[in-house]
Amino acid sequence: MKLKRKSALITGITGQDGSYLAEFLVAKGYKVYGLVRRTSTDPLARLESLYFSHKVTFINGNMRDSAALQRAVEIAKPDEIYNLAAQSDVGISFTCPEETMEVNYHGLGRLLYEAMKVNPKVRIYQASTSEMFGRSKPPQSEKTDFHPVSPYGEAKLRAHLDYVVGYREKHGLYICSGILFNHESPRRGKHFVTRKITHSLAKIKLGLQDKFELGNLEAKRDWGFAGDYIEAMWMMLQKPMPEDFVVATGESHTVRDFVEEAAGALNIKISWHGKGLRELAKDEGGKVILSINKSFFRPEEVVYLLGNSSKARKVLGWKPKVKFKELVKLMIEHDLKNLAH
């Protein structure tokens, strides 16, 4: 007897995580559908081969549009939904708080309402985030209190409490939060700090750019590889009962460490000069390659994130494969190769 192929709907399929997850689920034999928002940028940038080989099906729509969400779940008839669509830029959430709440909080509410009508047994993954911990002391685990400091963190926390915990407890919905710490890759958008650093330094190395600017160098983040983290998303939905999991490496580094590691991978010897907003980094020849610009600071900053993912390791059997140094190296190598063409 032939088993029915599972169907998955990924919102946010065109993003970094969405594209890795689509590849992963296609390889597992899933029928994969992606909700795609109309923008003027190329939605195929990360998904060209899957799309043209008809391995994923795009459905137009976005998280603000209930009718479009209804159509998406009716077409995909999903066994699993991965809600990765979001206004995911923490810095921008301070200038666009309403949009952030609309998409990251109300969007999930709309999706759940439509999904439950089509299949009350659907399993849903919600992309929650370490930003919900905000100023809670590290290391942060599933037991740590939430103290978000950004509109992004607040919207994600409300979605977690009202729709993940709330619908699980009140309506018996199968829904899990993956509380993911920062996860990066060569597919990361260039407005996030890691890719901004690797891309800018690679350009400087190739003589295509003189210098670049950053904000707070002292923020500490637990950076893992996105390709490892999407596997944890899938693992969560395979458990008999829905639960929430922290996904992290358990290693934290400052933005400054990231700059040094990336420069080292390019054989650029940097030295730091000055303090605060006047701090600079110079190369061996004394040329300024990095300066500080206060516009990249946030009104409120999450100072120190360090995840304790022992529950995911124990219950899911998940562990990160790519370590910090390797992550930086693979991002640098990708940027060098792409820019050299």
Binding region for ligand F7E (CB under 6 A): 88, 90-91, 129-131, 181-182, 191-194, 196, 214-216, 219, 221, 255, 296, 298, 301
Rounded to a whole number of angstroms, the minimum distance from the CB of residue 221 to ligand F7E is 5
> Smaller CB distance to ligand F7E: residue 120 or 299?
299
> Quick one: 126 or 194, whose CB is closer to ligand F7E?
194
| Nearest-approach distance from CB 152 to ligand F7E, in angstroms | 6
Q: What is the dihedral of CA 144, 146, 152, 155, to 10 degrees?
A: 120
Residue nearest to ligand F7E (CB): 219
Q: How far is the CB of 195 from ligand F7E (least distance, A)?
A: 8
Biggest alpha carbon–alpha carbon distance for the chain: 71
Within its chain, how far is the Cα of 215 from the centroid? 20
Active-site option among 129, 144, 198, 249: 129
Are 131 and 86 in contact by the 8 Å Cβ rule? The answer is: no
Q: What is the DSSP string of 148-187?
A: --SHHHHHHHHIIIIIIIHHHHHH--EEEEEEEPPEE-TT
**Residue whose CB is less far from ligand F7E, 51 or 318:** 318
Active site residue 129: yes
Can you read off the two tokens belonging to residue 302?
Answer: 């999450």
Q: How many CA atoms lie within 13 A of 284 on its CB side?
A: 7
- The answer to whether 228 is a known ligand-binding residue is no
Whether the CB-CB separation of 162 and 101 falls below 8 Å is answered with no
DSSP 111-153: HHHHHHHH-TT-EEEEEEEGGGTTTSPSSB-TTSPP---SHHH
How far does CA 238 lie from the centroid of its chain?
A: 21
Q: How many CA atoms lie within 13 A of 36 on its CB side?
A: 22
- Nearest distance in Å: CB 84, ligand F7E: 10
Check the annotation: does 90 bind a ligand: yes
Told to judge if 304 belongs to the known catalytic residues of this protein, a careful annotator would answer no
Least gap, CB of 91 to ligand F7E (angstroms): 6
C-alpha to C-alpha distances, 297 to 85, 86, 218, 313, nearest whole angstrom = 25, 22, 11, 34
Q: Which is nearer to ligand F7E, 88 or 198 (CB)?
A: 88
Are the beta carbons of 160 and 286 closer than 8 angstroms? no
- Tell me the β-bridge partners of 36: 60
Nearer to ligand F7E, 29 or 299 (CB): 299
Catalytic option among 152, 163, 167, 174: 152
Active site residues: 129, 131, 152
Extract the annotated binding site: 89-90
Extract the annotated binding site for NADP(+): 89-90
